[in-house]
Amino acid sequence: MYSSSQHSETSAKPSIVLGIESSCDETAAAILIDGKLKSNVVATQEIHTTYGGVVPELASRAHQEAIAPVVLEALQQAGIQQHELSAIAVTAGPGLLGSLLVGASFAKGYASALGIPLIAVNHMQAHVLAQFLSEPAPNFPFLCLTVSGGHTQLVWVKSALDMEVLGQTEDDAVGEAFDKGAKLLGLPYPGGPFIDKLAAIGNAHAFQFPITRMPGLSFSFSGVKTALLYFLQKHDPAWIHEHMADIAASYQYTLIQTLLIKVREAVSQTGATELALAGGVAANKGLQAAMKEVAHELGCNLYIPPLAYCTDNAAMIAMAGHFLHQAGINHGLALQVNPNMKF
């Protein structure tokens, strides 16, 4: 005789979720088996570097070319046959309309052919749930600062399916502020990592840029970028070149301080003891160090997932899909993309 636990272990079918991400300039697919990551394939569109920003029409076309090979690669790397899939999770927004449609159309066709559930995932919620792709993961409730090229949000995460945006940017995202500042300094796109590298060898207090103080937990980053523009207009190219590292360090310092003021406020409002960082800007060394200091000062545990899970990826989409699938959610073929999707 088998005990009931042995019975359920041997007979329970694993939950195998395929995640698909195509909201911006990464075509990505990942496989998660019972919440454990088995493959994570990302094809980054290089074409946009020529233009200094993402060109929506080119992004859609590149997604169309990459999506089938990327999904196949994810299945192969995980050693999974398509008929073994339990569900497909796809980014439904926010993002570029054309890009979202490529992923969603592919996912609809695939889910319908396989006769399995199709789950719409909110890209920003998925960034938060990327915390569960690595160990240690934060305990609920936690406060997540999501910082990317498109978004800057403070999210209060009560559970995987219950989160609330406490504050967000009213204009540019912090990643955008990094990239626009880098462009003004003549650095390649995306410029965030270049500012980060220069800042490491510069003096963050050499120059002062204004911190825009917004009401509540909102952010604004367009003013500091304009301040940098005016600052650079006052100096000649040779002087700028000579002081590049100090300018980058001072600019980065201002962006980080703008974030930290609100993190402190959010911790005090929520009483959070668990703090997490998500999104591509989480790669910034200066931000990581500053967040560690703040977490230590406030007595919070800090979680920063490996970079591959912070930048746009499909593992986080599969993870969000896994939680939604466990909750019995199936959007089916009625799934609709929404470029401005809110939480």
Residue 293, both tokens? 């200091």
Count CA atoms within 13 Å of residue 294 on its CB side.
27
196 binds, among Zn ion, ligand KG4, none (CB under 5 to 8 A by kind): ligand KG4
**According to CB under 6 A, which residues from 243 to 302 bind ligand KG4?**
279-281, 283-284
Decide whether 40 or 86 has the Cβ nearer to ligand KG4: 40
Q: Which of 94, 190, 202, 305 binds ligand KG4 (CB under 6 A)?
A: 190
Decide whether 111 or 198 has the Cβ nearer to ligand KG4: 198
131 binds, among ligand KG4, Zn ion, none (CB under 5 to 8 A by kind): none
Q: How far is the CB of 51 from Zn ion (least distance, A)?
A: 19
Three-state DSSP class for residue 32: strand
Three-state DSSP class for residue 31: strand
**According to CB under 6 A, which residues from 11 to 70 bind ligand KG4?**
24
The radius of gyration of the chain's CA atoms, rounded to the nearest angstrom, is 21
8 Å CB contact between 27 and 72: no
Burial of 198 (C-beta count, 10 Å sphere; 0-12/13-18/19+): buried
Q: Total binding residues for ligand KG4 by CB under 6 A?
A: 19
Q: How far is the CB of 149 from ligand KG4 (least distance, A)?
A: 3
Choose among 251, 203, 192: nearest CA to 224: 251
126 counts as binding ligand KG4 under rule CB under 6 A: no
According to DSSP, the β-strands at 162-168 and 274-278 are unpaired
Residue 85, both tokens? 């899939």
Choose among 159, 152, 142, 107: nearest CA to 330: 107
Decide whether 24 or 145 has the Cβ nearer to ligand KG4: 24
Decide whether 89 or 281 has the Cβ nearer to ligand KG4: 281
Decide whether 5 or 50 has the Cβ nearer to ligand KG4: 50
Q: How far is the CB of 140 from ligand KG4 (least distance, A)?
A: 23
Q: How far apart are CA 72 and CA 78, in angstroms?
A: 10
Q: How far is the CB of 196 from ligand KG4 (least distance, A)?
A: 4
DSSP state letter for 219 = B
Q: How far is the CB of 63 from ligand KG4 (least distance, A)?
A: 15
Residue 18, both tokens? 């395929």
Chain residues in the site for ligand KG4 (CB under 6 A): 24, 148-150, 175, 178-179, 190-193, 196, 279-281, 283-284, 311-312
